[in-house]
Structure 1
Amino acid sequence: MRVVEVTAYGGPEVLRMARRPEPEAGERPGMVRVRLKAAGVNQADLRIRAGRYADVVGELRPPFVLGTDFAGRLIDPLPDMPAGTRVAGFVPWFEALTGEGTYAEVIWAEPDWVAPIPDDVDYTVAASVPLAAATAQRGLDVLDLPQGATLLVSGASGVVGRLAVQYAAAAGLRVVAIAHEGDQHELKVLGAEHPVERGTPDEIVERVLAAVPERVDGVFDGAFLGAPLLECVKGGGTFVALVPDRTPAAERDIRVETVLGRPDAPRLKETLEKVAAREMITRVADVMPLEEVAEAHRRAEAGHRPGRIILMI
């Protein structure tokens, strides 16, 4: 089968198409095979490829296959899903550390990683959701803010931040959303009370404090802005970071946590159903063939446009 391997740590040029044996039935008891139609390109993929997490992955070294998000069809049946069922999910790459990601034609998956895709959701949209939804939900779980509290979401134009805005608004939080120019109106429709245009860290802090002079109760740092956003948080508030290297040191009794999305099939199923019903909105930035993965990484690193880049397989 076709896969994309990271041949060495470095830029997008280190990504290479390769061939590996296709998984065979029964090789991994308790796991199922999924034939992929689409896979997402995540920020974690870019950082792993560049070697920024080389100390985190232990003895794992290139060549390995990147990728977490996936959408495709079950090859092996599950009790509630026959073979051929359209499914989406994500591989917990950092927890498994097998080097077997979703830039591949066929993957192994645990049953609790996958959820059925509703008929009205296509593969590209489905592949944009799993890790983003799990990360946003995990972040809100850790923040644990009461109804009426104020949450600042950075990166609200991207898929993780966009979902965080929607989950937070549904939970009764007042949302301040940092977004690309032109996205403010849409984010208000999605539940943001105060859309704030992004800029330099100083400009963002100034704009947030102009909107919420009393400061916010919590931050979901979807854009990896890090320490500058602490200025926007009340003493005793909470700051959730998504990557270790952009997790600030705590100050003023602010609780600082780094979160990692965890597979949760029932929650994913619910979110995909809401996407199908147009009750939640994700964002696909580009759809590209697997063979153009290096260009996909270049576009993602350049901030080509907000949203998830999807590889068609």
Structure 2
Amino acid sequence: MRVVEVTAYGGPEVLSMARRPEPAAGEVPGKVRVRLKAAGVNQADLRIRAGLYADAVGALKPPFVLGTDFAGRLLDPVPGMEPGTRVAGFHPWFEALTGDGTYAEVIWAEPEWLAPVPDDVDFTVAASLPLASATAQQGLDRLALPAGATLLVTGASAVVGRLAVQYASAAGLRVVAVAHEGDEAELRVLGAEQVVTRGTPEDVVAKVLAGEPEGVDGVFDGAIVGDALLPALKDGGVFAALAPDRVPVTERDVRVEAVRAVPDAARLAESLRKVADRELITRVADVMPLEEVAEAHRRAEAGHRPGRIILMI
């Protein structure tokens, strides 16, 4: 089967197509096979490939296969789902550290990762959701802000931030979103009370404080900015950090929560149903064949357009 391997730490050029044996039924007790149709390109993939997390992955060295998000068809039966069922989920790459990710035609999956995909949700759309929705929901859980509190969401034009805006608004939070110019009207429809356009961290903080002079109660740092956002927080506020190298040093009694999402199939199934019913809006930036993975990484790093880049497999 085709896979994409990281052959060494470096730029997108280190990504190389390769062939590995296709998994056979029953080879790994307790796991099932999924034939993938789509896989998402996440910021974590870029940072792992670049070697930014080399210490965090310990003994795992290239060559390895990246990838977390997936959507495809089940090859083996699991309780409640027959072979051929359309499924999506995410592979907890950092927790497993096997080097077997979702940039591949067939993967092994734990049954508890898998959520059914409604028939009217495309595989490409489904693959944009699993890690992003889990990160947004579990990040908001960790913030634990009460209804009526003010939450700053950076990266609100991208998929994680966009979902965080929607989940936070549904939970009764007042959302201040940081987004690309031109996305303001849509994000207000999705639940943001105030939208400020991107800029330097200092510019963003100034714009936020112009609308919230006392500061916000919480920050969901979808854009992975880090310490520079702390001046926007009230004393005793709470900060959700999504990358291990962008966790702020605490100050002014600010509580910092480092968020690494874990699979939650029940919540994912609910989110996929909401996508099917147009109650939840994700964002796909580009759809590219697996063979163009290096260009997909280049576009993601350049911020080609906001949203998830999806690899068709």
TM range (shorter): over 0.9
* 1:139-162 CA distance string (max 9 Å, x none): 000000000000000000000000
Name 1:195's counterpart in structure 2: 195
- Deviating beyond 4 angstroms after TM superposition, the runs of 4 or more aligned structure 1 residues are none
Matched, 1:298 2:298: yes
- Quick one: distance in 2 between partners of 1:228 and 1:196? 16
Q: Unmatched 5+ residue regions in structure 1? A: none
Letter paired with 1:256: V
Name 2:18's counterpart in structure 1: 18
Name 1:209's counterpart in structure 2: 209
- Quick one: distance in 2 between partners of 1:229 and 1:53? 23
Name 1:143's counterpart in structure 2: 143
Name 1:224's counterpart in structure 2: 224
TM-score computed with the length of structure 1 as normaliser: 1.00
* 1:17-55 CA distance string (max 9 Å, x none): 000000011111111100000000000000000000000
Letter paired with 2:136: A
Q: SS state of the match for residue 192, structure 2?
A: coil
* 1:247-301 CA distance string (max 9 Å, x none): 1100000001110111000000000000000000000000000000000000000
Letter paired with 1:269: A
* 1:213-258 CA distance string (max 9 Å, x none): 1211000000011111100111111001000111110000000111
Matched, 1:119 2:125: no
Name 2:174's counterpart in structure 1: 174
Q: SS state of the match for residue 59, structure 2?
A: coil
Letter paired with 1:150: T
1:31-46 aligned at under 5 Å gives the runs: 31-46=31-46
- Quick one: distance in 2 between partners of 1:312 and 1:268? 21
Aligned length in residues: 313
Name 1:9's counterpart in structure 2: 9
Shift of 1:211: 1.1
1:70-81 aligned at under 5 Å gives the runs: 70-81=70-81
- Quick one: distance in 2 between partners of 1:284 and 1:261? 20
- Quick one: distance in 2 between partners of 1:170 and 1:98? 37
Shift of 1:79: 1.1
Name 1:250's counterpart in structure 2: 250
Matched, 1:275 2:275: yes
Identity of aligned residues (%): 78
Q: SS state of the match for residue 166, structure 1?
A: helix
Name 1:67's counterpart in structure 2: 67
- Quick one: distance in 1 between partners of 2:199 and 2:8? 34
Name 1:185's counterpart in structure 2: 185
- Greater shift in the superposed pair: 3-12 or 196-205: 196-205
Letter paired with 1:301: E
Letter paired with 2:82: P
Matched, 1:107 2:107: yes
Letter paired with 2:43: Q
- Quick one: distance in 2 between partners of 1:248 and 1:184? 28
Q: SS state of the match for residue 249, structure 2?
A: coil
Shift of 1:174: 0.3
Name 1:89's counterpart in structure 2: 89
Name 1:266's counterpart in structure 2: 266
Letter paired with 2:285: A
- Quick one: distance in 2 between partners of 1:120 and 1:237? 41
- Quick one: distance in 1 between partners of 2:211 and 2:162? 19
Letter paired with 1:10: G
Q: SS state of the match for residue 47, structure 1?
A: helix
- Quick one: distance in 1 between partners of 2:260 and 2:182? 29
Matched, 1:58 2:58: yes
- Quick one: distance in 1 between partners of 2:77 and 2:168? 35
Aligned-residue CA RMSD in angstroms?
Answer: 0.5
- Quick one: distance in 2 between partners of 1:260 and 1:278? 27
- Quick one: distance in 2 between partners of 1:82 and 1:201? 49
Q: Unmatched 5+ residue regions in structure 2? A: none
Name 1:238's counterpart in structure 2: 238
TM-score computed with the length of structure 2 as normaliser: 1.00
Q: SS state of the match for residue 146, structure 2?
A: coil
Shift of 1:202: 1.2
